[in-house]
């Protein structure tokens, strides 16, 4: 088991969805929290509730992770709280959907900054301390979209492929050093991700709840897994692309997520 009680987790994208559920479950397990997202009003509501229910220490930090200097500025704010980050949950992320040439390049740039750059930067900031203390963990939220190229989700799927590769490689680097690294791959989950991207057509596979996703993640962390896929149907979806050429996988995936007439 990961030593949750009395330690501190930093959760990005903590104002809603999977990030909020991580906060609620970890507070119930005795962890102190640093909640990070742009919506500070919503995080303050969550923080107040968790302090009342569990007596846990909760810090709220507003931060736009799409900015170049976001990670270093966030680290400075965390330093002011005096806490030590023992579990880093890189959950923040968003999706763009549609033919590549129709998508706002500025939005795609922000997507890469949040989904990839902020994750790598924050891991650079907090992993060395964990290794020095020989205690800690990192959970990176990827997606089953990262297992194959997906037209219309071209950039999103590519960012999640990066998260999967990064997480498994880092797991091997940290193996035997008492620091756990886990890549978490949800499928379609009951959150606002697809609605915000106007990508309801891309919601394929079995629909899961945030409670199920977080339970899968923490079970994987406790078992020192490198990568976990949430849900049996989603696991099946990730197996197929291994046995067919990438170009054919892209054709199949594109057909699955395109707008239905």
Structure confidence by residue, pLDDT tens digits, 192-228: 655 565 555 555 667 899 999 999 999 999 999 999 9
164, 170, 155, 169: which is closest to 113 by C-alpha? 155
The DSSP bridge partners found for residue 138 are 88, 181
Q: How far is the C-alpha of 26 from the C-alpha of 7, rounded, in Å?
A: 10
Residue 89 belongs to a domain = yes
189: DSSP letter = B
Residue 154 belongs to a domain = yes
How many degrees, rounded to 5, is the angle at CA 99 between CA 94 and CA 104? Answer: 55
Lowest mean pLDDT, pick from 9-13, 42-46, 233-237: 233-237
Percent of the chain with pLDDT over 90: 81
Q: How far is the C-alpha of 159 from the C-alpha of 117, rounded, in Å?
A: 10
Residue 140 belongs to a domain = yes
pLDDT at position 243 over 80? no
CATH number at residue 123: 3.40.50.720
Q: How far is the C-alpha of 252 from the C-alpha of 152, rounded, in Å?
A: 12
Q: How far is the C-alpha of 250 from the C-alpha of 261, rounded, in Å?
A: 20
Q: Write down the pLDDT at residue 257.
A: 80
Q: How many domains does the chain divide into?
A: 1
- The number of beta carbons lying within 10 Å of the beta carbon of residue 5 is 11
Residue in the structure block whose two tokens are 């899968």: 216
Domain region containing 68:
8-257
Q: How far is the C-alpha of 77 from the C-alpha of 157, rounded, in Å?
A: 31
Q: Write down the pLDDT at residue 256.
A: 74
Q: How far is the C-alpha of 227 from the C-alpha of 80, rounded, in Å?
A: 33
Residue 76 belongs to a domain = yes
Q: Write down the pLDDT at residue 205.
A: 61
Binned at pLDDT 50, 70 and 90, residue 258 comes out as: confident
Residue 112 belongs to a domain = yes
Q: Active-site residues: which are they? A: 156
Residue 1 belongs to a domain = no
**Token pair belonging to 24:** 């609620």
In total, the chain counts a number of residues equal to 261
**Token pair belonging to 204:** 């394929």
Residue 3 belongs to a domain = no
Residue 2 belongs to a domain = no
Cβ atoms of residues 209 and 191 within 8 Å? no
Structure confidence by residue, pLDDT tens digits, 68-90: 999 999 999 999 999 999 999 99
Q: Write down the pLDDT at residue 245.
A: 72
Cβ atoms of residues 188 and 145 within 8 Å? no
């Amino acid at each position: 088991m990961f030593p949750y009680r009395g330690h501190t987790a930093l959760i990005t994208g903590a104002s809603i969805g999977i990030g909020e559920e991580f906060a609620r479950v970890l507070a119930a397990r005795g962890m102190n929290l640093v909640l990070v997202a742009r919506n500070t009003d919503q995080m303050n509501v969550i923080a107040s509730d968790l302090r009342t229910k569990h007596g846990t220490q909760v810090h709220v930090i507003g931060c736009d992770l799409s900015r170049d200097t976001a990670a270093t500025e966030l680290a400075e704010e965390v330093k002011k709280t005096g806490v030590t980050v023992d579990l880093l949950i890189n959950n923040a992320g968003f999706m763009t959907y549609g033919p590549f040439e129709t998508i706002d390049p500025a939005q795609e740039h922000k997507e890469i900054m949040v989904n990839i750059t902020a994750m790598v930067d924050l891991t650079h900031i907090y992993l060395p301390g964990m290794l020095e203390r020989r205690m800690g963990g990192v959970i990176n939220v990827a997606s089953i979209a990262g297992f194959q190229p997906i037209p219309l989700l071209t950039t999103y799927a590519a960012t999640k492929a990066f998260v999967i590769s990064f997480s498994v490689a880092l797991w091997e680097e940290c193996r035997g050093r008492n620091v756990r690294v886990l890549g978490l791959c949800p499928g379609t989950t009951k959150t606002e991700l697809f609605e915000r991207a106007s990508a309801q057509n891309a919601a394929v596979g079995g629909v899961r709840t945030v409670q199920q996703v977080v339970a899968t993640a923490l079970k994987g962390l406790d078992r020192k897994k490198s990568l976990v896929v949430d849900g049996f149907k989603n696991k099946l979806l990730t197996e197929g692309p291994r046995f067919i050429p990438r170009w054919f996988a892209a054709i199949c995936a594109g057909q699955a997520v395109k707008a239905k007439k």
